[in-house]
Amino acid sequence: MSQLPQGAVLSEALELNASAPPRKVSRALAEEVPVALSYNGSTQAVMMASPSDLTDFAYGFSLTEGIITHPDQITDLSIESHDAGTELRMWLAEDQARALTTRRRAMAGPVGCGLCGIDSLSEATRALPLVTADPRLPLHMVLSATETLRAAQTLHDATRSVHAAGFLTRDGLLLAREDVGRHNALDKVIGALTRQGIAPATGAFVLTSRVSIELVQKCALAGSGMLIAVSAPTTRAIATADAAGVTLVALSRAASVLAFTHTSRLTGNTP
């Protein structure tokens, strides 16, 4: 087997076949490790994630969870390896550190995957900024978006068990990130864009997963006007995208897509 991508390891298994004797085989599997995100010495969340592009993950998570609004507000970041997992250790500027301390005091329960660190049902459907970005991607690029992303999924090629997110502009797919968690993959893309100084308003996010509310929230908070996914959205995701001004495109196939909200960005004249 060729060299494995970061985030994949070989594992031994017994292959059972109805027409052949059992045999031992080696199979590439995706790593899934605990990743703790800590700020100024206190852990905010522990996520199960792929151990790749973790600096991007740190910035993307911090932005989409409202801990920072600009990358310069993280004054220092280190990645620490422990026997139990990996810690992304960040230090915040004074104002952000103070705001996070206040937020922690108000929290009623533990954080978890998807909607992290919220303390009420109303925060789960929090108000989002109205997205005015207008990427105007040609229809042929929208139709081929998920196939374009598919070509960049090296970890999926090796393991068949991870999600991917990418950022698509008129110039093509600028970058892609993979993770065992679909939320993590999108956070990694948002973090990478932020670190590289690329405005999410200039393109669309592309996902290999279904679309739930928190993915739309992350898209809106990043400022991108379009989200394209291979699978279906939930009704709450559609309502959230509509209210936030995000064009939600789902069930993406080579010949057709379903556009649920703000479809004028796709054709220029759709009512």
Q: Is residue 28 classed as helix, strand or coil in its secondary structure?
A: strand
Contact 199, 68 (CB under 8 A): no
Of residues 113, 175, 201, 239, which has the active-site annotation? 113
Q: Is residue 12 classed as helix, strand or coil in its secondary structure?
A: strand
Within 8 A by CB and 6+ apart from 162, the residues are 7, 30, 50, 153, 155, 156, 178, 179, 180, 185
Provide the 10 A C-beta neighbour count for residue 10: 11
Contact 173, 152 (CB under 8 A): yes
Within 8 A by CB and 6+ apart from 235, the residues are none
Examine the residue annotation and report whether 116 is marked as an active-site residue of this protein: no
Burial of 194 (0-12, 13-18, 19+ CB in 10 A): buried
Annotated active-site positions, please?
A: 113
